[in-house]
């Protein structure tokens, strides 16, 4: 375990938080060192639900926390990514493209497979936050 944030309040579903900042964007989160210079980021957890602390050793199947609606979010969900450093705002990855937004309702309501527009924002990205609906591949 590398880093933990807990105690940020739940946001109102359906509303963009007015006071969000880069520091609070991930809400309540856990960052786990998964070895090989890689780190797993789990964000937007319910306040008071994080069950681990910095320095803990975790294993497959351990509960880290509960999915919530904290940080820069409009609905409860788990934000997960693999990073090359334990810092969500400065980690690197390779853009695969962007989700086809014209099908977003179909994807989320009817659970059909997402279509990735591979020509939009594809290629290496460093020191940038992913945009909404951007698909990022992590590699060494």
Q: How confident is the model at residue 11 (pLDDT cuts 50, 70, 90)?
A: very high
**Confidence label for 140 from pLDDT (cuts 50, 70 and 90):** very low
Residue 16 in tokens = 């963009």
Percentage, residues of the chain above pLDDT 70? 66
Q: What is the pTM (predicted TM-score) of this model?
A: 0.69
What confidence category does residue 71 fall into, taking pLDDT thresholds of 50, 70 and 90? very high
pLDDT at 96: 59
pLDDT of residue 109: 67
Domains along the sequence of the chain with CATH: 1-89 (2.70.70.10), 93-137 (no CATH)
């Amino acid at each position: 375990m590398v880093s933990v944030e807990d105690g940020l309040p739940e946001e109102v579903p359906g509303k963009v938080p007015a006071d969000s900042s880069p520091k609070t964007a991930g809400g309540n989160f856990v960052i786990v060192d998964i070895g090989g210079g890689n780190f797993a980021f789990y964000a937007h957890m319910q306040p008071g639900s994080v069950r681990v602390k910095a320095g803990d050793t975790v294993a497959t199947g351990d509960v880290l926390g509960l999915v919530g609606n904290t940080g820069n979010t409009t609905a409860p969900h788990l934000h997960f990514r693999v990073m090359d450093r334990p810092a969500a705002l400065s980690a690197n990855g390779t853009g695969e493209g962007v989700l086809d937004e014209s099908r977003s309702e179909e994807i989320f309501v009817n659970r059909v497979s997402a279509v990735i527009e591979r020509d939009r924002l594809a290629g290496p990205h460093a020191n940038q936050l992913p945009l909404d609906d951007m698909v990022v591949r992590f590699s060494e």
